[in-house]
Amino acid sequence: MTQRAYNFSAGPAVLPEPVLAEVGRDLLALPNAKASILEISHRSPTFKEILAAAQANLRQLLSIPDNYEVLFLQGGSRLQFSMIPMNLRADGRSADYILTGSWSKISQKEAQTGGDTHVAWDGSDTNYSALPSNTDLRLDTDAAYAHFTSNETIHGVQFATEPDVGGVPLVCDASSDFLHKPLPIERYGLLYACAQKNAGPAGVTIVIIRKDLLERSRDDLPSYLNYRVHAEAGSLMNTAPTFAIYVVRLVTDWLINEIGGLEKMHSQNRSKAKMVYDVIEASDNFYVGHAQPECRSLMNVVFRLPNEELTEKFVSEAAEQDLVSLGGHRSVGGIRASIYNAMPVAGVAKLCDFMTQFRDANCG
């Protein structure tokens, strides 16, 4: 078998090896269907069972209450940037946005089409290295909803707890930290995540929405863009992304059966992240983290080296040791190590050893 490197890509990203092995084993024919997951109808009993299992697993892992729908949609998180205002801002009210990095900025920009937005906080003056406290937020108590990004994949800042937005429905882009820890779902109006960071492959986006909010979806919306239509059709109004949903089912099986739930996943994630931040802190400013310590992401560790030349050398020497996709996002530069759920502790340990050796060899 081809050797696998440790893959620190921000997304599509590393998947659990047992999941990939199972996909490979069953790709020609699923045990009961005698056909491939790539070949069967989205309305076949076999696929309906997979869809139901994926949903049941998510409900179990996140303790999702009965008054929430779980939808499996296409179009990525980017389509949610538009669907959310189209559906939830129906009666002409404005929507609040908390701007903590590139993704929340794009989501607000997208929501400016067809209605009003209001910026409740903007971290641009620290180049998005900090997060607001509840008292920093300038909220509109009449807003249709308040949107935040729980983990900024590019800037590497992550909320430890949900911002308090009072009685306004809280909407969360959880694309890059979905399933990394348990969540109090009842605090959310809507939470969405494309699968390809922490929950599966590209092609499906999970939307968890409180049922009363479905009443806001107007009948004159294009049907694919209407949450109520998807909820009524059980995510099968058209051909669902069958393969992606199948893999989400396997990833959630893995979280339940092999990891032992999201509390355990969270504690593994905390210790993996601490390993890397500890190396950064012990480096005598050779490595400089982007995020302020109290809002460091457990998922995307973003840091800089003293100069561009050393950064390039770091990325290429790491790749020679099978530590791949460590280059930072083009807008921020530096290094980004994405250490999602599926990144093994051994991969993080190998990265930490490499970082220590690289510093010792290059700190001049």
Question: Where in the sequence numbering do the catalytic residues fall?
Answer: 103, 173, 197
- Cβ distance to ligand PLP smaller for residue 153 or 283: 153
Contact region with ligand PLP (CB under 6 A), list: 74-82, 243-251, 284-292, 316-324: 74-82
The reply to whether 11 sits near ligand PLP by the rule CB under 6 A is yes
Contact region with ligand PLP (CB under 6 A), list: 30-38, 108-116, 168-176, 290-298: 168-176
Which residue's beta carbon is nearest to the bound ligand PLP?
76
Q: How far is the CB of 242 from ligand PLP (least distance, A)?
A: 18
| HEC letters along the chain | CCCCCEECCCCCCCCCHHHHHHHHHHCCCCCCCCCCCCCCCCCCHHHHHHHHHHHHHHHHHHCCCCCEEEEEECCHHHHHHHHHHHHHCCCCCCEEEEECCHHHHHHHHHHCCCCCEEEEEECHHHCCCCCCCHHHCCCCCCCCCEEEECEECCCCEECCCCCCCCCCCEEEECCCCCCCCCCCHHHCCEEEEECCCCCCCCCCEEEEEEHHHHHHCCCCCCHHHCHHHHHHCCCCCCCCCHHHHHHHHHHHHHHHHHHCCHHHHHHHHHHHHHHHHHHHHCCCCCCEECCCHHHECCCEEEEECCCHHHHHHHHHHHHHCCEECCECCCCCCCEEEECCCCCCHHHHHHHHHHHHHHHHHHCC
Site string for ligand PLP, 83-112 (x = CB under 6 A): --------------------x---------
The reply to whether 194 sits near ligand PLP by the rule CB under 6 A is yes
Contact region with ligand PLP (CB under 6 A), list: 36-44, 126-134, 170-178, 231-239: 170-178
How many residues lie near ligand PLP (CB under 6 A)?
12
What are the two backbone dihedrals, phi and then psi, of residue 117, each rounded to the nearest 5 degrees?
-125, 160
Interacting residues with ligand PLP between 279 and 338 (CB under 6 A): none
The reply to whether 76 sits near ligand PLP by the rule CB under 6 A is yes
Binds ligand PLP (CB under 6 A): choice among 117, 129, 175, 268: 175
Is 291 within 8 Å of 334 (Cβ atoms)? no
- Cβ distance to ligand PLP smaller for residue 177 or 305: 177
- Cβ distance to ligand PLP smaller for residue 283 or 341: 341
Q: How far is the CB of 101 from ligand PLP (least distance, A)?
A: 8
- Cβ distance to ligand PLP smaller for residue 11 or 163: 11
The reply to whether 197 sits near ligand PLP by the rule CB under 6 A is yes
Contact region with ligand PLP (CB under 6 A), list: 173-181, 246-254, 275-283, 331-339: 173-181
Contact positions toward ligand PLP, by CB under 6 A?
A: 11, 76-78, 103, 149, 153, 173, 175-176, 194, 197
